[in-house]
Amino acid sequence: MSRTGPIPVPRRPVGGPRSGWPSSEVDVVVVGGGVVGAAAAWQLAARGREVLLLDRFGPGHTHGASHGTSRIYRQTYTAEPYVRLAVEAYDLWRCLEDVTGASLLQITGGVDHGDRTSTTALAAALTAHGIAHSWLDPREAETRWPGMRFTGPVLLQPDRSGRLHADQAVAALTAAAAGHGAVLRHHNRVERLVVRGDDRVDVESAGGRIRARRVVVAAGAWSAGLLAGLVELPPLRVTQEQPAHFPLLGSDPCRPADPGWPTFVHHTPPGDGWPSGVYGLPAPGRGVKVGFHGVGAECDPDRRTYAADPVQLARLQDYVARHLPGLDAARPDPVSCTYTTTPDSGFFLHTRGPLVVAAGLSGHGFKFAPALGRVLTDLAVGATTGSPLAVAG
């Protein structure tokens, strides 16, 4: 789509009649103002709930998993629930663009290559769901994208794969929530949740104590600490990941990536020597973003270094030099973010009493955010979610 321009001011004053800090009670408190928390606030407020969204940091912060310019959107999953959720998210991203006037999702086409077992399974899932795709010979693909090198047949998904602008997506979701009357308070760290009954939770934060009928927790790397003793979570592994932007070879490092670059996933076969599969996507103004998936060092989110590990960065540069000759491997610009990963990399979407939790999005949750907001809203209001990923406790 070709929408340009800033995200408009909300149609209604932020918070409506409660434009200040709520005095004592609210229908729903959403904890965490990243992409999933903001999506939940939008969906809840759109259904007429009184919503207070609390975030411990300021807008556009770089401490979690929702910042930056680029996230992959794709529907290439083998598990049926994730395909369905991705398809729903596509429609909701487009709806959000219509509501806010923001340009969020750029279709670039997407390619998968490498391990034949993985790519064949993905093609079978696309076929089962009627999602357009085709196979390209590696030489044909390299003619089409001369800056890339491919191993094995290349699976192309032309019209439902692309790039989301992360910062603008969070801002648009927040604006849409505010347009329906939600209140957002930054720099308000939630210290404790105290469940008082089926319809009462005391939310104790830097801004005071609020009583809520429901609390939606989308706190990312801080989920385990906040929910200890309240919700039985799966083991959550928090890691500091470090993809990097690489400029086009011979270009100015600030030149936008060629719009012909697709999003890509290289399913590296066992024995190739890489620590994981590799993903990449164009990042206008930054080059092309390339990263290993889920191989960062475990960390405390409040004690991160934000510094790139030189050994892992060198391996990423080596990968780029071998497989992405159109990029300048000598000029990486590392990015620091967190993954919060479950043992099977699946999502934890769960209710316990008046608490609704989204946790462990495992480094691939951003693309699904507006659909996850819908699922969390259904859980909060007691409606049927239609997703086997969600569990009502």
One-letter identity of residue 353? G
Q: Which pLDDT belongs to residue 254?
A: 52
In the predicted model, what is the mean pLDDT of residues 303-313? 96
Q: Which pLDDT belongs to residue 258?
A: 52
Same domain, residue pair 37 and 126: no
Same domain, residue pair 204 and 315: no
| Sheet arrangement for strand 110-114 | 134-136, 154-157, 110-114, 263-267, 278-283, 287-292, 244-246, 333-334
Q: Which pLDDT belongs to residue 271?
A: 82
Split at pLDDT 50, 70, 90, the class of 285 is confident
**Please, are residues 153 and 119 in contact by the beta-carbon 8 Å criterion?**
yes
Q: Which pLDDT belongs to residue 373?
A: 98
Same domain, residue pair 138 and 151: yes
Same domain, residue pair 261 and 207: no
Residue 282 has pLDDT above 50, yes or no: yes
Q: Which pLDDT belongs to residue 318?
A: 98
* 207 lies in some domain: yes
Same domain, residue pair 176 and 306: no
Same domain, residue pair 222 and 326: no
* 2 lies in some domain: no
Q: Which pLDDT belongs to residue 17?
A: 34
Number of domains in the chain: 2
Q: Which pLDDT belongs to residue 252?
A: 56
In the predicted model, what is the mean pLDDT of residues 65-92? 97
Split at pLDDT 50, 70, 90, the class of 393 is confident
Q: What are phi and psi of 293, to 5 degrees?
A: -115, 115
Read off the pLDDT of residues 16-32 as tens digits, 9 standing for 90 and up. 334 444 558 999 999 99
Per 3-state DSSP, the chain is made up of helix, strand and coil in percentages (nearest 5) of: 25, 25, 45
In the predicted model, what is the mean pLDDT of residues 352-379? 98
| Domain housing 52 | 16-66+168-236+343-392
Provide the percentage of residues in the chain whose pLDDT is more than 90.
88
Same domain, residue pair 386 and 249: no
In terms of DSSP H, where are the helices of 145-252?
A: 166-179, 223-227
Split at pLDDT 50, 70, 90, the class of 6 is very low
Same domain, residue pair 23 and 139: no
* 258 lies in some domain: yes
Q: Which pLDDT belongs to residue 251?
A: 65
* 127 lies in some domain: yes
Residue 332 has pLDDT above 70, yes or no: yes
Same domain, residue pair 270 and 350: no
Same domain, residue pair 182 and 275: no
Smallest CA-to-CA distance from 160 within 86, 266, 265 is with: 86
Read off the pLDDT of residues 44-68 as tens digits, 9 standing for 90 and up. 999 999 999 999 999 999 999 999 9
* 153 lies in some domain: yes
Residue 218 has pLDDT above 90, yes or no: yes
- CA dist 30 and 201 (Å) reads 12
* 185 lies in some domain: yes
CATH (domain of 256) = 3.30.9.10
Residue 1 has pLDDT above 70, yes or no: no
Smallest CA-to-CA distance from 217 within 26, 374, 31 is with: 31
In the predicted model, what is the mean pLDDT of residues 316-321? 98
- Cα torsion 273, 161, 118, 149 to 10°: value is -40
In the predicted model, what is the mean pLDDT of residues 250-255? 58
Same domain, residue pair 116 and 200: no
Read off the pLDDT of residues 231-249 as tens digits, 9 standing for 90 and up. 999 999 999 999 999 999 9
Residue 15 has pLDDT above 50, yes or no: no
CATH (domain of 373) = 3.50.50.60
* 222 lies in some domain: yes
Same domain, residue pair 252 and 299: yes
Higher pLDDT, 266 or 1: 266
- CA dist 92 and 90 (Å) reads 5
Q: Which pLDDT belongs to residue 270?
A: 83
Between 23-27, 134-138, 165-169, 318-322, the lowest mean confidence (pLDDT) is in 23-27
* 357 lies in some domain: yes
pTM of the predicted protein model:
0.93
Q: Which pLDDT belongs to residue 11?
A: 46
> Across all residues in the chain, what is the average pLDDT?
92
In the predicted model, what is the mean pLDDT of residues 366-390? 97
